[in-house]
A and B are shown apart, each in its own frame.
Chain A
């Protein structure tokens, strides 16, 4: 074989390529919203409610308006004349929700007036000078009490504060009638059970705490009738759609930009009142305006996550065969429904099938308004709640039956040959192969050794427990039928003059590393160096279309769109190359990309360089018949189904007998997210997910007092997990590709928060089992554990 000059380019898919975006992010060279400074820019500050529930009696803005440098002070009622109620993205009934409260406040932090001023400090001083008088109403804090007759109500037309009620069960939904079938099968399953475990469990309220708080800059240019909005958002295209609608503009008049975004975790999916207000006020004052959320505002007003109460019953035979599940879920959704609020808890029930053959399920869901910050997606968004309830219940069953928790799970796994598998909730699991993942996790963790270590520690009088969980989750959101925004993703690939490649993706990253993984894919596709590729994102004037990044979709859906667009560009490029190689009578389909060339497969001497062909595409003389010049292609990818990654997590917890302090001493995660583009980035996603999942199990909780006042509105009281709280994670994986996209990749962004939370609580319960403990509510507060020990006289 003839050789040619030039380096051989290694394949990059599957390699631990370092994140290309990190140097600028960690050297202060990145542009976040707060770095944007426009000439003549004014600053917003919001006057916010300091009570949980009340009628606004009066707002006196005179002192604020009189301050030198204050451009405008406007109340919610005044703003409502130009800005209507905010849109939501779910089909559920919802009360009107204005960007700024018009007549009533329903949670601490809800805005009641806005100041526009020359600088941020002055704006805040003016906001403090606004006097608001309220007629206070009783705060609705407990979601169960909220549903009782006689409770104060938040919204007219929502009796007993109930936002959503849903029910399904029996043998599932009849696909022909779309109605729940008779659920006598559930009663029958429970009647024939040898054992039933029942537990009330709280999946507590959490604050997402992205490192970068929210922020927005809006610039309305009256002369052009054109609005530009920069926002710390996960989905600039959705922002564009909704801001345009709220402003009475068309999408052709709005550009939305997500510059560098410092974490989202779901809380930056929602389009917030502050974004609409900034756009509206920029038009009103004819100047660009900026608002940057401070950390206190983030605790009070950025959507919270979780807050589901579950009454769970699991029925089984003595041999461990699971017969049925009953779940009654009460979701405390806070004061309003925002973009996806009402949809998130519905995912919980859908995912409670877990990895098991569940013959029957009965599921009841009630979503309840309370005087708290609205909830929405938070990393995992419905799945962590469902898997927590299920995996805790399965663990309780193992304890009740005195079975090894791994073996009980194995016994009930959906067999590998039953995929695709239709769950009781109507989902179709794409692929799964659970036993090898369980075996690998048991092996990596050294499960038997861990049990021996635990028993030896107990013999010494120490309090040690081991825990295991096995999860399945749903990723790759789409398809469009189930995602209110549309479930496709868009990508554009342009081969530039000189043979460099620029690609765009609508999956707007905020920590996912798409600039690296997508470049790896293109580098392999075109066989060119990684540094010859730029991935652009986040700007609707650059990225023609898009949905955004949530639900672990950027690789499975966005990556598939990218590779589809690259395929189109590559095919056209081969046609140009064939024209250039016409003396060799080469057909485009005979050509391959190889080490910076386009060549006949196996014959590198019959080739043109990648750059030569790219240049020819832009000066195509003569233009090959039937072709247009240029190499710029785009693709919309619509997935046929979601993907269902899974994994097994194992942990060990030791509790201080005297203080109740828990310490996580071992954490093993074996995840299966299908094909992996970049194991380093997958590991990073798992690390971050584990930290947040462990954070929920051990540390984090948003707490309100009986008056609806938040008592955890700063990092002095809200316990974030820190590096020193976490052991070295032991990671491994299995690979079960998905058939629903050409990459075989499933998604991994949320895996860590789903498996680790029940795993760690299971370990803590195991630790305290000798004290007669069967359940511990999260987070694992030292005093809570200490009391459980004390209740048993301190003796195991």
Chain B
């Protein structure tokens, strides 16, 4: 629990952080809430030579509606701040509720949405929600900014579409009330053993289209295409169980550990897909 020696720099702007990142090269790591990085450093699983603290940068803060009607969240917003956002509770309650269900109070007070997405722990909650909401991840690098859809951002275990010299600056997504997240907690870490986010377009009692994404079950957050297809035109909530039934079986790769075998996680993917769909439909 004793990290190796490292240098600590507190960036005063995103631009400065970018410069420091470039100068630091592979030795440099960005630090925001530190709730993934610091435990790894204490275990000496990560040994960065330079930490660039971007946690307090105003440029990375805020939750607001954009001019084109989307909701934007700055990367340095903590889970606790997101959970407390009235705007999110009104416009996209799934985001606030998921943030409120992350870890424990201490984790939520320190951990940030940008850190969670960039780190992409296979059991992190927010990646599934961002994929289901078809969120856009805003990224700033030495060559300017770019945007990536969440679906493309999460690529593999702890692997995202983000260069070593780039910074996640925020996310934005369309308001969506009829969306919900349901998870089975890993009882020690409180990460998702299986978590499913469902965002529905409802037309009366039936679903016109849906985006459903799973986390925890596999290497990274990903869409459950079969469930989405089955939901199109389904009447809800009655059709939820049928639509969700094959959710787990369709996954290519499923995690397995002390807390849940592959078959259990597959089964739970179907259970929590159904629960998420029912909860989302209940919001219709």
Contacts and interface: CB of A to CB of B under 8 A. Distances in A.
A26 interface: no
A446 B132 CA distance: 47
Contacts of B3: 121
Interface in A296-317: 296
B188 A715 contact: yes
A699, A712, A716, A787: which has the most chain B beta carbons within 10 Å?
A716
For the residues of B in contact with A, the DSSP-based class is loop
Interface string B237-279: 0000000000000000000001111001001100100000000
A14 B260 CA distance: 48
B266 to A, nearest CB: 12
B258 A717 contact: yes
B2 A294 contact: yes
Interface in B30-60: 39, 43-44
A786 B264 contact: yes
A125 B4 contact: yes
B230 interface: no
Given A703-B258, A711-B258, A124 B2 contact: yes
B184 interface: yes
Given A125-B4, A711-B258, A712-B258, A717 B188 contact: yes
B192 to A, nearest CB: 13
A787 B261 CA distance: 11
Contact of B2 (A121, A658, A659, A715): A121
Contacts of A45: 2
A721 to B, nearest CB: 9
A715 B106 CA distance: 15
A138 to B, nearest CB: 23
A659 B259 CA distance: 12
B271 A296 contact: no
B143 interface: no
A568 interface: no
Interface in A75-128: 120-121, 124-125, 128
A295 B1 contact: yes
B12 interface: no
A659 B268 contact: yes
A720 interface: yes
A715 B264 CA distance: 22
A323 B181 CA distance: 55
Interface string A205-230: 00000000000000000000000000
A273 interface: no
A125 B264 contact: no
A618 interface: no
B121 to A, nearest CB: 11
Interface residues of A, number: 29
A451 interface: no
B1 A294 contact: yes
B1 A699 contact: no
B189 interface: yes
Chain B interface residue count: which class?
20 to 34
Interface string B172-192: 000000000000100111000
A295 B2 CA distance: 10
Contacts of A661: 184
A711 B258 CA distance: 8
A703 B1 CA distance: 21
Contacts of A720: 188
A782 interface: yes
A706 interface: no
Contacts of B271: 658-659
Nearest to A699: B187
Contacts of B264: 783, 786-787
Contacts of B268: 659
Contacts of A786: 264, 267
A47 B261 CA distance: 34
A428 interface: no
A719 interface: yes
B188 A719 contact: yes
B9 to A, nearest CB: 19
Interface in A702-746: 703, 711-712, 714-720, 722
Nearest to B271: A658
A297 to B, nearest CB: 8
Nearest to A718: B188
A783 B260 contact: yes
A120 to B, nearest CB: 6
Interface in A117-173: 120-121, 124-125, 128
A296 B258 contact: no
Contacts of A121: 2-3, 5
B190 to A, nearest CB: 9
B184 A782 contact: yes
Nearest to B260: A783
A128 B44 contact: yes
Nearest to A127: B2
Nearest to B184: A659
A296 B4 CA distance: 16
Contacts of B184: 659, 661, 782
Contacts of A719: 187-188
Nearest to B270: A658
A716 B260 contact: no
Contacts of B39: 716
A786 B268 CA distance: 10
A49 B231 CA distance: 54
B176 to A, nearest CB: 26
Contact of A716 (B4, B188, B267): B188
A712 B187 CA distance: 12
B82 to A, nearest CB: 21
9 contacts: A45-B2, A125-B5, A296-B43, A659-B271, A661-B184, A717-B188, A717-B189, A786-B267, A787-B264
Given A718-B188, A722-B104, A783-B260, 17 more contacts: A120-B2, A124-B2, A125-B4, A128-B44, A296-B43, A659-B268, A659-B271, A703-B258, A711-B258, A716-B39, A716-B188, A716-B189, A717-B258, A719-B187, A719-B188, A783-B264, A787-B264
Interface of B: 1-5, 39, 43-44, 104, 184, 187-189, 258-261, 264, 267-268, 271
A-B interface, 5 closest residue pairs, ranked by CB to CB distance from nearest: A294-B1, A124-B2, A719-B188, A716-B189, A783-B264
